[in-house]
Amino acid sequence: MSKAKTWFDVRRMRLGLSILPVAALAAGFASTTPAAAQSLTFSVMASGTYDKAAEALAPAFQAKTGAKTTIAAFPWATLRQNNITDVVTGTNQYQVMSGGFYLADIYSHFVPLGDMIKKDNMTDGLIPGLMDPGRSEYFNGKQIGFPYGTDVYGVMVNDDLLKKAGVSGDFKTWDDFLAACTTIESKDAGVACFSHPTGSPEQISAFFFGDYDGTYINAAGKYELDVPKAVATGKLIAELWKHLPKQGGAMSFDEANAAFRDGKTAMLVTWPSFANKFLDADDSPIKGHWHQVPFPGPGWPSLSQWQLFIPDSAPDKALAWEWIKTFAGPENAKANYVNYGIGSPWKVLYDDPELKKQHAHDWPAKLADLPRAQNPVLSGEALDFLNNTMQDIANGRVTPDAGIASINTAWANFQVPQTLLETAKTVGAIASK
């Protein structure tokens, strides 16, 4: 064929030239083979604790196993969503997932760990009861989660301010706590009773679970609260919210901790693992002047028992289990605690004489609360609805009666995951009729 001379020839050549790059690209894709090297991606909460501990362990793990180890850290709400999305969409980015009861919707996708736990004798040395259903995660009777990062919702008190107010800090119930608030604030107008990370909506349920001692599921197997008890708890929370610092309706974790540390509040209600290291820092004005008290009842303190799961899509489950042993095993329990404040399910941490002495002001309360701490038997959607409605009750947008009624109405349409139903039977969260 002769060289392009006419308009049609030019167009043909352009067509031909346009095919070339496409063909080259296609050839390039066809010849590219993915790298065969091992890799492991671990999804974990971005908190400055768990993620930092994982990042610190990753190089040694990579050196030991040869697997490129990536830590994918997200805030809690995003972590929960990312984990679920990763599984239901088949993206399968994460070979080990960090999570908890709120992943109940995808429990069927996790590998049972019982055999691996038994083979490597990973129960020896754990605090008793932490591997039970309701604390660790099970599916169809098989354990699917391995615990790490054990923490129990706590109440930290300023010794000096409580002494000044003549309050003991020995709160059996949340009504006692509320009564103490009135006393504390009457003695010092410049001090609010307590601070709390009100800006994180999922935290308010700690108060609900702590005061409410009713059931969560009715005899028909649907989510439902005991109305009189729940309304009473709603009223209590609305009263408690009046004792937050001024403009304290949307405090971050750091703001809440700082308000307590700086003496603006007499008490702090939060996760100890997010606060205690900060409170005991060398430059903390409250160091040596605070202690943790047992969580008031009659409900139960929230348990944060992070679990490590292996999705069934993980290509190398042995490698994933190896990471679990490294990250959550007893060997790193002390380092994880000392460096990052990560509470541990291993007894070895709490038996360490030096640490025991250093933590004489907070560990006794934590260890006393652990036996009664538990996870709620609520799906993510049910828990979100409870949290948001409780916030509306606390802020006065809805009355406790209307709020609880709306929760029960919404909950009637939510399915109770089978695995949580099993747990609910174990922990007595189901109404008899």
Partner 1 sequence: MQRAIWASADWLEERIGERGILAAFMVPAIVIVVVAQFYPLFYSLYISFVDWTLTRSMEPGGFVGLANYAKMGTDGVLQQTWGRTIWFALASTGASTILGFVLAYLTIGEGRTLRIARTILILPMVIAPVAVGTIWRMMLSARVGPINEVLRGIGLPAPDWLGDPTLAMISIVIIDVWEWTPFVFVIFAAALSSLPSEVLKAAEVDGATSWQILKMVILPMLAPVGLLVVMFRLLDALLTLDIVFTTTFGGPGFATHTLSFWIYQQGLRYFNISYSAAISWATLIGCMVMVGALLIWRARISRWQGA
**Interface with partner 1 (CB under 8 A):** 1, 8, 11-13, 15-20, 77, 80-81, 84-85, 88-90, 105-106, 198-199, 201, 245, 247-252, 255, 259, 380-381, 384, 388-395, 397, 406, 409-410, 415
Between 105 and 352, whose beta carbon lies closer to partner 1? 105
427 contacts: CB under 8 Å, gap ≥ 6: 134, 374, 377
The 8 Å CB, 24+ separation contacts for 317-324 are 317/111, 319/38, 319/40, 319/65, 319/67, 319/95, 320/40, 320/95, 320/96, 321/113, 321/116, 321/120, 322/61, 322/65, 323/40, 323/42, 323/61, 323/69, 323/95, 323/96, 324/96, 324/113, 324/146
In contact, 165 and 218? CB cutoff 8 Å: no
Between 11 and 64, whose beta carbon lies closer to partner 1? 11
Between 296 and 311, whose beta carbon lies closer to partner 1? 311
Which residue, chain included where needed, has tokens 């070339």? Answer: 20
Least spacing, CB of residue 138 vs partner 1, in Å = 17
Bond preceding residue 298 cis, omega within 30 of 0? yes
Between 132 and 401, whose beta carbon lies closer to partner 1? 401
- How far apart are alpha carbons 426 and 375 in whole angstroms? 12
Tokens (6 digits) for 168: 């003991």
Least spacing, CB of residue 431 vs partner 1, in Å = 24
DSSP secondary structure string for all residues of 393-418? HHTTSS-HHHHHHHHHHHHTTSPPPH
- How far apart are alpha carbons 270 and 276 in whole angstroms? 10
Between 48 and 201, whose beta carbon lies closer to partner 1? 201
Least spacing, CB of residue 233 vs partner 1, in Å = 16
380-394 vs 227-240: helix crossing angle, rounded to 10 = 50
Torsion of CA 248, 250, 255, 261, to 10 degrees: 40
Least spacing, CB of residue 412 vs partner 1, in Å = 10
Least spacing, CB of residue 102 vs partner 1, in Å = 10
Residue 265 has what DSSP assignment? E
Least spacing, CB of residue 387 vs partner 1, in Å = 8
H helices within 296-417, ranges in order?
Answer: 317-328, 333-340, 347-351, 353-358, 363-369, 380-394, 400-411
Between 150 and 387, whose beta carbon lies closer to partner 1? 387
DSSP secondary structure string for all residues of 95-111? SEEEE-GGGGGGGGGBP
Between 195 and 292, whose beta carbon lies closer to partner 1? 195
Least spacing, CB of residue 249 vs partner 1, in Å = 2
Least spacing, CB of residue 386 vs partner 1, in Å = 11
Between 22 and 30, whose beta carbon lies closer to partner 1? 22
Between 70 and 418, whose beta carbon lies closer to partner 1? 418
325 contacts: CB under 8 Å, gap ≥ 6: 120, 122
Tokens (6 digits) for 69: 């180890």
Least spacing, CB of residue 314 vs partner 1, in Å = 18
Burial class (CB in 10 A: 0-12, 13-18, 19+), 255: middle
Between 19 and 281, whose beta carbon lies closer to partner 1? 19
Between 80 and 366, whose beta carbon lies closer to partner 1? 80
Least spacing, CB of residue 426 vs partner 1, in Å = 22
Burial class (CB in 10 A: 0-12, 13-18, 19+), 388: middle
Least spacing, CB of residue 23 vs partner 1, in Å = 10
